[in-house]
């Protein structure tokens, strides 16, 4: 999730001081001799951003002696993916990162990967018939338009989101000091107290109306943001709604060469072994030990190009969704039983990349295509809107001197929609095209209320479920936060260190130590 730096009150330490002290503690912990009973083998199921980050943090917590194996049947990156069009590649999955996503920033700095060169953007809002708002090249004109129609609602929304993000920032402090949480609710409570839990049980619409925002502002400006980011309306729950609104901030960035490079870079730095295979089952097995006390292991069965196989592990982290249509991993030998699919469903978003000439008249504008410079068309939650967004996108590597072509020329557009685009729809939206690539993503949960019970991070004694966090919000940074939480949790529980599990006394402890 996007997070901004908070100003601590007079009784609290500054964020900089906390992070510095936490860094010192991390260095101190890393320099101590390894404990004798370190695990021998750890499995991570899933090679997306969550799995790659989990492998990285598990290596950080358990040291060089443990063998870490990551199972991924497809390309490393998961829902971070690209499509090649001509000689260039374009993002088809997660495409932007907030400037204050601290874990993602740390990953990129660690790997020495540059950020992609920024290209100026302009936004418009489409209601299915016409453009109801079109951003001007002049900042003051945009401000006056917003003031005329919505008063100070946009400024108030930014302030409201920033106040939530200030509280969210606490998770970095907790994690820097090694604190971990057994459930998503406990993690959220550590960030924002009862207020964050309340956001999970109310719609964004209800929450913002109570904050004094008008229904017109929600329909015209907020719904287009939730639709482009999560493919859903303002009736999603308030916490993921705040994440979505934070994703509309300025300064968004991406990784040069594609965001999936973060996953491959984390795999390299974690010194993990990648096993190109699909995990079919996880079973708990009990084996005798030299001390006479039985020891339990996890048997992971999988199918790869060379056929079926299985291996035993001390710790397993599942970093792929365990929900209907997303996974068919069977769990056997567990008491109580672990379901192969938790309640709830993932929301389908179709990402279609088209190289062609857009039909600007489809957007209800009489402006000539040569003068139409809007790059991102967001849509309202109206009956006539068959798409969630239409965006002119740039390659994952921006060469020197690159300039986005005008709408009158062929270029690459990305369309988000609920269903695949029919041939008739393509003919409505484009005058001509020579390339179409369609990806159907089950990209994030359906966030409609009433809320589903969030799955636990702990499925069994040493079996963890990283993607539980997606039911609070799904993003690259949320996956990274969950990965670090699970790695810390696995370390503390392996070594029976309970003092930093489900505790919210960080500031009290720091003041005592000082």
* Domain residue ranges of the chain, discontinuous segments joined by +: 34-78+261-344+449-505, 82-172+194-258+346-445
Q: Which residues contact 220 (CB under 8 A, 6 or more apart)?
A: 125, 132, 133, 149, 150, 380
The 463-465 sheet, strands edge to edge = 273-275, 67-71, 41-45, 315-318, 463-465, 458-460
CATH of the structural domain 34-78+261-344+449-505, one choice from 3.10.180.10, 3.30.70.1170, 3.50.50.60, 3.40.50.300? 3.50.50.60
- Structure confidence at residue 187 (pLDDT): 97
Which of 2, 50, 385, 309 lies closest to 162, judged by CA?
2
* 377, containing H or E segment: strand 376-379
CB atoms within 10 A of CB 159: 10
- Structure confidence at residue 219 (pLDDT): 96
Can you name the CATH fold of 82-172+194-258+346-445?
Polyamine Oxidase; Chain A, domain 2 (3.90.660)
- Structure confidence at residue 295 (pLDDT): 81
CA distance 377 to 374: 7
Which of 229, 204, 225, 228 lies closest to 387, judged by CA?
228
- Structure confidence at residue 10 (pLDDT): 32
- Structure confidence at residue 5 (pLDDT): 33
CA atoms within a 13 Å half-sphere pointing along the CA-CB vector of 159: 8
The number of residues making up the chain comes to 514
Q: Are strands 131-134 and 307-313 parallel, antiparallel or unpaired?
A: unpaired
For the purposes of burial, counting CB atoms within 10 Å of the CB of 200, is it exposed (0-12), middle (13-18) or buried (19 or more)?
Answer: buried
- Structure confidence at residue 15 (pLDDT): 45
- Structure confidence at residue 250 (pLDDT): 81
Q: Give the 3-state secondary structure of residue 437.
A: strand
Global pTM value: 0.91
**Per-block average pLDDT, block size 10, for the chain (514 residues)?**
35 42 44 61 97 98 97 94 94 88 95 92 94 88 87 94 93 96 96 95 96 96 96 97 90 93 96 97 85 83 95 97 87 91 91 97 93 95 92 95 93 96 96 96 90 89 97 96 98 94 82 58
- Structure confidence at residue 14 (pLDDT): 44
DSSP H helices in 100-177: 102-111, 139-150, 153-168, 170-176
Which of 231, 452, 232, 410 lies closest to 324, judged by CA?
452
Q: How big is the CA angle at 126 (ends 123 and 128), to the nearest 5 degrees? A: 160
- Structure confidence at residue 229 (pLDDT): 94
């Amino acid at each position: 999730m996007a997070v901004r730096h908070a100003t601590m009150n007079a009784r609290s330490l500054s964020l900089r001081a906390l992070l510095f002290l936490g860094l010192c503690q991390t260095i101190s912990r890393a320099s101590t001799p390894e404990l004798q009973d370190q695990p021998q083998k750890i499995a991570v199921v899933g090679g997306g951003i969550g799995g790659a980050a989990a492998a990285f943090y598990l290596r950080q917590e358990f040291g060089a002696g443990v063998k870490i194996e990551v199972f991924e049947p497809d390309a490393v990156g998961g829902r971070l993916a690209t499509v090649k069009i001509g000689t260039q590649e374009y993002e088809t999955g997660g495409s932007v990162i907030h400037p204050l996503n601290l874990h993602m920033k740390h990953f990129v700095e660690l790997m020495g990967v540059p950020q992609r060169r920024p290209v100026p953007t302009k936004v418009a809002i489409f209601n299915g018939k016409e453009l109801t708002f079109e951003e001007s090249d002049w900042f003051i004109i945009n401000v006056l338009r917003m003031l005329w129609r919505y008063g100070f609602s946009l400024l108030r929304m930014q302030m409201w989101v920033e106040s939530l993000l200030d509280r969210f920032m606490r998770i970095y402090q907790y994690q820097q000091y090694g604190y971990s949480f057994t459930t998503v609710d406990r993690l959220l409570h550590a960030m924002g107290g009862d207020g964050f839990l309340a956001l999970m049980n109310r719609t964004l619409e209800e929450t913002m109306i109570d904050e004094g925002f008008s229904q017109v502002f929600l329909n015209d400006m907020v719904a287009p943001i939730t639709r482009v980011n999560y493919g859903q309306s303002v009736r999603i729950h308030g916490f993921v709604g705040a994440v979505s609104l934070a994703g509309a901030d300025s300064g968004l960035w991406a990784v040069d060469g594609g965001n999936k490079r973060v996953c491959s870079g984390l795999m390299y730095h974690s010194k993990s072994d990648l096993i190109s295979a699909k995990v079919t089952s996880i079973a708990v097995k009990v084996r005798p030990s030299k001390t006479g006390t039985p020891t339990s292991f996890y048997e992971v069965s999988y199918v790869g190009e060379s056929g079926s196989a299985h291996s035993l592990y001390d710790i397993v982290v599942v970093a792929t969704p365990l929900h209907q249509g997303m996974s068919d991993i069977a769990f056997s030998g567990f008491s109580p039983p672990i379901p192969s699919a938790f309640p709830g469903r993932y929301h389908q978003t179709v990402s279609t990349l088209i190289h062609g000439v857009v039909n600007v008249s489809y957007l209800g504008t009489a402006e000539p295509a040569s003068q139409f410079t809007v790059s991102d068309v967001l849509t309202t939650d109206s009956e006539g809107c068959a798409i969630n967004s239409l965006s002119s996108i740039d390659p994952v590597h921006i060469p020197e001197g690159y300039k986005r072509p005008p709408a009158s020329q062929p270029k690459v557009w990305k369309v988000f929609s609920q269903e695949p685009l029919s041939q008739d729809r393509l003919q409505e939206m484009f005058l001509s095209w020579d390339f179409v690539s369609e990806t159907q993503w089950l990209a994030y949960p359906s966030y409609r209320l009433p809320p589903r019970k969030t799955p636990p991070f702990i499925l069994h004694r040493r079996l963890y479920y990283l993607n539980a966090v997606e039911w609070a919000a799904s993003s690259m940074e949320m996956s990274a936060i969950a990965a670090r939480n699970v790695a810390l949790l696995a370390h503390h529980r392996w070594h029976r260190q309970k003092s930093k599990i489900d505790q919210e006394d960080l500031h009290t402890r720091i003041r005592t130590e000082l």
